[in-house]
Amino acid sequence: MTGQPMVVVLASGRGKRFVTSGGNGSKLQARLGDCTVLDHTLRAVQASGLPWHLEAASHPGMGDSIAAGVRATAGSPAWLILPGDLPLVQPQTLRQIAQAPQSLDVVVPLVRTTHGNGSVNGLQRGHPVRFSARCGPELMQLAGPQGAAALVRAWGETLWPVQDTGCILDIDTLEDLRRAEQLLGLRKGPLAV
């Protein structure tokens, strides 16, 4: 297959932790600067130049959402699975994961995190996770809350170093939203570590 990988933006979640933490309504519709959390994520996807699909229908779990998004875009050469609650992800990170060698079945961004003093804190896996077309039939059968974690283990992941903390800063709580607001206000260019 030729062509660019399809970004599947997952926007079906209920966001219970966000409400429990004091947030009002959907975390994806929470205001972050000049627009919503989801709008920030979609802006990055659009700026990447990659084809994309928004999976916003109600589904019982993340696995169901992934399956629906992959079924809706069947025939794609690969899929980048991107939760809609990553408003600081950078377009170049999406392109970088999309451009990893096609021979790799599962590509997971890996971010080096640092302390305030610049020392290395650790390494953390992020999103989007790219799956090859060979993974498609199994992605289309996913169900439940666990997403595609079992497929990542089964197919074996290739960790792909990126310099974008936006691919690990998801919005699950009101505190996460406040942290994103602070980082968004400080950002002059790409958010890197």
Question: CB-based contacts of 40: which residues, under 8 Å, 6+ apart?
Answer: 32, 33, 87, 88, 184
How far apart, in whole angstroms, are the C-alpha atoms of residue 193 and residue 161? Answer: 11
Coil, strand or helix at 90: coil
Half-sphere exposure of 8 (CA within 13 A, CB side): 30
pLDDT of 186 above 70: no
**Type of residue numbered 24:** N
Give the count of beta carbons closer than 10 Å to the beta carbon of residue 4: 17
Q: Which domains does the chain have, with CATH numbers?
A: 6-186 (3.90.550.10)
Given CA atoms 59, 108, 97, 141 in this order, what sign does their dihedral have?
negative
pTM of structure: 0.89
In tens, the pLDDT along 73-114 reads 999 999 999 999 999 999 999 999 999 999 999 999 999 887
109 close to 126: Cβ distance less than 8 angstroms: yes
Average of pLDDT values for 31-53? 95
Average of pLDDT values for 41-68? 96
